[in-house]
Each structure stands twice: as C-alpha cells, then as structure tokens.
Structure 1
Amino acid sequence: MQVLFIHQNFPGQYPHLAEALRDRGDQVLAIGGPTAVALPGVPLHRYDPMARGEVPTCHHWAADFQVKLLRAEAVALLLEKLISQGLRPDLVVGHPGWGELLAVKDLLPGVPVLHHVEFIYQMEGGDVDFDPEFSRTGWSDRTRLRLKRAPQLLAFHDLDWGMAPTAWQASTAPAEFRERISVIHEGIDTQRIGPRKDSSISLQKAGLSFEAGDEVISFVARNLEPYRGFHVFMRMLPQLQKLRPKAHVVIVGAEGVSYGSPPPRGVSWKKVLLQELAGQLDLRRIHFVGQVPHAVLHDLFRVAACHVYLTYPFVLSWSLLEAMACGAVVIGSATPPVQEVIRAGENGLLVDFFDLEAIAQQIAEVLTDPAAYRSLGETARRDVVAGYDLKTVCLPKQLALVDRLAREAADQAVSTKSLKVRDVEAPSRATSIGL
C-alpha cells in the first residue's frame, strides 16, 4: 500500500503511524512545509507557500483564509508534479487545519483522505470566550472568528474519515459529521515513559539538584501563554509561596505564542507577568528553564511532588498524559479536555481555572502530605497504559483504521469498474435481441 502524509510540520502527529507503516513494508512518503523534518525511509517533498512572492493585500478578515489558500495551491502544484512522476497513493493522511488538503480531492478524486480532527473553533463555549480577561466580544471579532472557521467547515464536506485524539476534541466538529470520526489518540509510549525511582534533575544556573521527595512543583507548556494558564499560575505563586516558603517551582516552556494573541507591548507573557508581580515573588525558588529535551521533561515529572496543568477548553497537551504516565500527581484545571482524562480524587485533582486561592491551597495540601496523594499518580499511570498506550492501544487502532479505509476504497473502485463494464455490455445485448 502507498500512503501519502500531508502536514506542514511533518511528522507532526504522525511519527509513530508513519514509521509503523514503513516498518511493515508499506510505501510511505510525505509532503511538508519548509519546517518539516524527514523520517528515515520516508521520502519528504517540501513545498514553499511563498514561492510566488509576497502575500497580496486583502481584507483583514480574509487574511487567514488567504494564507491557507497559498498553502493549498503550493501543495497542489507539488502533488501534481508527483502524480506526473508516478505517485498513486491508496490513502492520504493529513491535517486540514492549514488548508493543505483543500485541493487534494481535485487531484486524487478516488483516493480516501483521513483527516486529523484536532479542534474546530467554536462560536460559543470554546476557547475564544472562556477567559474574560482576553475575550473579544465585539461583532467584528465574532465575524472574524466565523470566517476563520470557514476552511475547517469546508474540509468536512470532503471528509472520508476523521481521527480525533480525544472525545471532547471530536465533539467540536459539527454534529452531522461526527459519525465519520474515530477517537484515537496519537499514543503515549508507556514502556519508555514511566516511573523511575533513581530520577533526578539538575538546574545548572541555580546550582541545584532535585530528586523524588523534594518539594518541587512542575509547570509545562510549549509556550508560556494564557491559553495554557500561565498567567493564572504566575498570579497564584505569591499565595503558594506564603503557604510553602521552601517549595521550588520549575517552569518549562518557550517565551513565544502558540495560541491566542501576543501580549500588547510586544514582549513575552513571562516578562509581562514578572513585571506585574514585581516584589511579590521569591524568584530564587522559581526556575524558568525554557524548553528541555524530552527525557529531561520526563525526569521532571518523576521528581515533582505535583504537576500543574491548566488549559482553556482547547487541544489536550501530550505533556499531561506523559506526566500521568510517569506517575505524577496532577492538579489540572476543571475544563472539558482535562475532565475527560482526570477523575477528581481518583487519578488526579481538579481545580477551578480562575481560582488562585484554590489552586495554591490544593498544591500546598499535596506538598504537606505527599504520601496521601501518591495513589493518584499510580492510578493515573494505569489509566494511561490502559487507554493511551502507543503500542498496545493507539497504534493498532490507527493501523486498523488506515487499512479499512484503503480496503473500502479499493473495493469501491472494483465495484465501480464492474458497473461500468456492465453498462457497456447492456446496450450491446439489447441491440442483438432487437435484431
């Protein structure tokens, strides 16, 4: 079978699936943007969305759609070239979020496309109107959001099948399309990511090292920004430091913006919050370590007395499940994506996203008596192994779905060909009878 992946940041959500298909003997290739990274044995063809020069000016409401159209055109031109060179995929797997799949059905009309359904913008009840501090409620902002949904909704009309990481993320799709979405997570390699008694972490700049049993709190995000509750976490710290003056906080994440708007003054949210809280924090016990290697992140989860995960109603972070896989005691926000994974008092703890005092108090209680909460982390580990393990749960489901879609498309092609043959033969028989 020949499988084509299309993803601007390939491998993106697909490293395990692409490698598994390759390893079992399928022909796997990928189309990606300038930042895509090749996997061994998976030919990568890069497209340049800006190959024709600068983006022409347009109405500001249309700017997002225009960028997606540029990507769609660049992918289509590259795909047309590859088809002329013999590309004949049995299945296309891709993420429709950046517009890359918009023209695929016009170039490969009989090939099934498996969409990654990550998150569909919601007019109400989602991320946009969740945080009053950053909500934009004017009609112009709502219209801009409505138009930003257009490429996402358009993609559903070409949907052969979708794959969503969580049930809540699948629920953001329009109801009429949900029957064609399978809930299968990308998978957590729980054989590699798990508890380890001898773990430790060293903070070279601070000259400190920590091991299990130390009073350490972890907070992790790709970028330190409001969507992942960074502002809430920082504003909570003065209260926490009063309750636990010896506790150390390790904060992992870059200072850019992955989601939402950048801070108004053109600096990072970290700088904005540190300036806002100047004089209220003991910075000797707050450690910003930037982005760290994956293995170091797991050691942090193993060492930390608790891990704090806060998020808007948005895409669930891999880091939460990886922390749970390491047996961490997680304190998460009582928001829908987290509530799907964490059952309060059973495999973790839940707090109101906006309640600074409640968050600080809950962390302090865990730090006061870690042994009383250890079973939460143990149950969290078991739950991730049972529901999200890469090799025994998620990857087998992904492969089964890929095989089913390719098989059904092949059967449909054979059936269609058979019907065409009968259509050609039927008039000939009728003519003979007539004579």
Structure 2
Amino acid sequence: MNILFVHQNYPGQYRQLLEWLIAQRAHRIVFLTQRQGLPVMPGVTIRAYASHHRPAADAYGLSRHFEECMGNGYGAALAAQQLKQEGFTPDIILGHIGWGEVTFLKQVWPGVPVLGYFEYFFLARGGSVGFDPEFPAAPEAPYLMQARNGANYLAAASVDLGQCPTAWQLGTFPSEMQAKCYTCHDGIRTDRLRPDPAASLSLGRLDTALTRDDEVFTYMARNMEPTRGFHIFMRALPRILAARPRARALIIGGNEVSYGKGSGEKGGYRAEMERELGDRLDWDRVHFLGRVPYASYRQVIQLSRCHIYLTVPFVLSWSLIEAMSMGATIVASDTAPVREVIAHGRNGLLVDFFDPAALAAQVTEVLERPGDFADLGVRARADAVAKYDFLSATLPEHLKRINALLPRRDRIELRG
C-alpha cells in the first residue's frame, strides 16, 4: 500500500507509527516535509517541499498566518502534483492540519482519504494566551487568535477524519470539528522507556557520575520558556536548594521559544531568570544541559528523584508521558491537559502553576523522603503502559480508524 505522510517538521508526531509501518515491509511510504538534510529512517522516501509564499514584512497582521499557511499548502500541493506525475498515488494521507499543508491535497488526489492531525485550536480565552498575568494578552489577541484559525477551518474541511491526542486539546476545537475527530494519544514505546536503578550520568563539572543515590531533580522542555513554566521553576530553585544542600537540578531544553512571545533579552528567558535570581541561587548546583541526545535524556529522567513538569493550558508534551513510563516521581502543574494524565496523590503530585513556593515545598518533600512517594512512580508507569503504550494501547485504535477509511483489500493488519 502507498502511504503519504505530511508534516513540515519530519517526523513530528508520526515517529512511532512510521517505525512500525516500516517494520511491516509491506508499504511504500513517502514523507512530505519542509525539513531537509535529515537522517532518514530506512524505508521512507523524503520529499521536501518549499512554501510557495512568504508574507511581506509589513503584511496585515490578521491575515499573515493565513498567508503563511496557504503558501505551505500550495507548496505541498505542487510537490504532491510532482509525485503524481511520477506515478505515485497514495492510498491514504496522514498529515498535520495546523500549517496548511493538507489544505489542497484533495485537489491533487480527490478520492484519496486524508486523516488529519488536530493539535490545537487557537483560543483567546481558556488556553495559553492570557493565562499567566505576568504575560498579559495584547488587546488585539482575540482577533489575532480567531484569524489564525482560518487555516484550521479550511484544512479541517479538507480531511475525512481527524485525530487529537487529548480530550482537552480536542475540546479547544468547535463542535463541528470535534465531531470529525477521535481522541487517542500518539503513543510512546514504554518497552524502551523503563525505570533503570543503575542509571548514571557523567557531567564535566563533577568528578564522579551522578546516580540514583544522588539527590537529583529535573526539569525538561523543548525550550526554556513561560509556556512551559520555566520562570516558575526557576523561582522555586532558591528554596529547594536552600532546603536540600546536596540537591542538584538538571535542566534539559533549548534557549529559544517554541510557543508564545520571545524574550526581549539577549540570552532569552534563561538570561532573564539568571539576572532576576542573581546570587540568591547556588549556581554550582544548577546544570543547564541544553538539548541532549535521546539516550542522555532517558538517563537524566531515570536517575531523577523528582521530575518537574509545568505547562500553561496547552498541548501536552510527550515528555510527561515518557517520564511516567520511566517511573519518575512527578510534580506537575495543576493545569489542563495535565489533569487528564496525573491524578494528585495517585500517580503524581499537582501544584498551583502560579505558586513557586508550593512547588518548592512539594519538591523538597519528595527529595527529603523519596521512599514515601515511590508508589507514585510505580503507578505512573502502570498508567503509561495501560493507556499510552504505542504497541498495545494506541496503535490498535489508530489502525482501526485508518482501516475504516480504506477498502477492505487495503486494510493494515495488526501484527508484529
């Protein structure tokens, strides 16, 4: 069977599904993306597309995002047209709707079913915008957010079915879009993400490797930014480190901005927090690791005595589910959609997003008495396996939905 994936940031949310389909050795897989020069999974043909239009610097703000998405959509359609001329016609298309890429694919292949990835509908209230009063929404935010959804509306009309990873994320979409979707997480490989009592990590600043015997607590985000509560985490550090003189913080993440407004300071939000905290913090026990290889990230979480996950109401990070799978004792923000995953006192601990003192107190308690909280990590892993394991929990649901769009002769068998 011919399968086309479309995502500007290969492989995006499709990594696990791609790996599984490749292992079946029964499909021709083409991935349409903007990224170039990447390591490619054997068995996948990468076709890069370029946006056909970039808005001018002085483009009208309310239409700027729509222009970008239409440029993406038309560029993807031109690349699809070339594939068609080369003799490739997919039996099914799976693609993210958020950047316009799938908008025109039905014009190239009218009869081919499209399964869209519905990640987030832009909200002026009830989502990430304006949630934190420290970063108030601009007066024009309601208009900008609604305008950004123009691309969502158009792309959603171009798909046959949608997938959304959490119920809260799906709930951000209008009811007519929700009716077109099913809720199922992308899934993680819990067989590869296990607790490891022997985990260790060497840091250049230390003479010996860190292990589970050390008092390590961790924070991870793609980038250190307010959307993922970086400023709240940093403001909790002085209390934690003062209360626990042997504790060390390991921080994973880049210094850019993935979501929301960027910092106006050179060095980003990390530089802002370093300036704010100054000598209130023992910086020798704060380790900024940057973006690390996946194996190192796994080691960091596996040796963590307490893992911190913070977010405003927004897209749920894979890293939270992965930390659960590795049996971490998790302290997380009491925000949506975290509450779908973490139940306070059962498989993790929830704290008020806006209260660094409460965060510090809870983390300090875990560091001081890890044995009292060990069951939380055990139950977190059990929940990750039961609800989010790719092979046993999410893949069967995804295949069921994919197969419902295909003729019986083309349906994908669950095996391996």
* Band of TM-score, shorter chain: over 0.9
- 1:283-298 → structure 2 map (5 Å cutoff): 283-298=283-298
Q: Secondary structure at the match of 1:158?
A: coil
* 1:69 alignment counterpart: 70
**Percent of pairs with identical residues:** 39
* 1:420 alignment counterpart: none
More moved, 171-180 vs 114-123: 171-180
* 1:267 alignment counterpart: 267
**Does residue 18 in structure 1 map to residue 18 in structure 2?**
yes
Cα deviation, 1:127-152, whole Å, max 9, x if unaligned, reads 102111112141x2321222112111
Does structure 1 retain, via aligned residues, the 8 Å contact 2:128–2:313?
Answer: yes
* 2:356 alignment counterpart: 356
- 1:211-222 → structure 2 map (5 Å cutoff): 211-222=211-222
Does structure 2 retain, via aligned residues, the 8 Å contact 1:342–1:348?
Answer: yes
| 1:108 to partner: Cα distance | 1.7
1:45 to 42, 47, 60: 47
| 1:180 to partner: Cα distance | 2.2
**Does residue 96 in structure 1 map to residue 97 in structure 2?**
yes
Distance 2:380 2:205 in 1: 32
Structure with the greater alpha carbon radius of gyration: 1
The unaligned stretches of length 5 or more in structure 2 are 412-416
Distance 1:238 1:43 in 2: 50
TM-score (norm 2): 0.94
Q: Give the number of equivalent residue pairs.
A: 409
| 1:228 to partner: Cα distance | 0.5
Q: Secondary structure at the match of 1:203?
A: coil
Distance 1:242 1:197 in 2: 27
| 1:230 to partner: Cα distance | 0.3
Q: Secondary structure at the match of 2:250?
A: strand
| 1:410 to partner: Cα distance | 8.5
Cα deviation, 1:31-83, whole Å, max 9, x if unaligned, reads 11134743211111111226x78857521332222111111111111111211
| 1:179 to partner: Cα distance | 2.6
Amino acid in the other structure paired with 2:130: D
Q: Secondary structure at the match of 1:220?
A: strand
Distance 2:386 2:270 in 1: 37
Distance 2:148 2:54 in 1: 23
* 2:414 alignment counterpart: none
Cα deviation, 1:299-338, whole Å, max 9, x if unaligned, reads 1111111000000111111111111111100000000111
Does structure 2 retain, via aligned residues, the 8 Å contact 1:156–1:177?
Answer: yes
* 1:111 alignment counterpart: 112
Distance 1:310 1:87 in 2: 44
* 1:371 alignment counterpart: 371
* 1:422 alignment counterpart: none
RMSD over aligned Cα atoms: 1.9
Does structure 1 retain, via aligned residues, the 8 Å contact 2:219–2:251?
Answer: yes
Q: Secondary structure at the match of 2:202?
A: strand
**Does residue 122 in structure 1 map to residue 123 in structure 2?**
yes
* 2:407 alignment counterpart: 407
Does structure 2 retain, via aligned residues, the 8 Å contact 1:91–1:111?
Answer: yes
Structure 1 runs, 4 residues or longer, greater than 4 Å off: 52-57, 408-411
Distance 1:36 1:194 in 2: 32
Distance 1:70 1:408 in 2: 36
* Structure having the larger proportion of residues in helix: 1
Distance 1:18 1:149 in 2: 28
Distance 1:273 1:191 in 2: 37
| 1:188 to partner: Cα distance | 1.3
* 2:319 alignment counterpart: 319
Q: Secondary structure at the match of 1:278?
A: helix
Distance 1:298 1:30 in 2: 27
* 1:134 alignment counterpart: 135
TM-score (norm 1): 0.90
Q: Secondary structure at the match of 2:307?
A: strand
Amino acid in the other structure paired with 2:94: V
* 1:29 alignment counterpart: 30
Does structure 2 retain, via aligned residues, the 8 Å contact 1:11–1:39?
Answer: no
Does structure 2 retain, via aligned residues, the 8 Å contact 1:236–1:359?
Answer: yes
- 1:418-433 → structure 2 map (5 Å cutoff): none
Cα deviation, 1:393-435, whole Å, max 9, x if unaligned, reads 1122222221221238989xxxxxxxxxxxxxxxxxxxxxxxx
Amino acid in the other structure paired with 2:151: P
| 1:154 to partner: Cα distance | 2.2
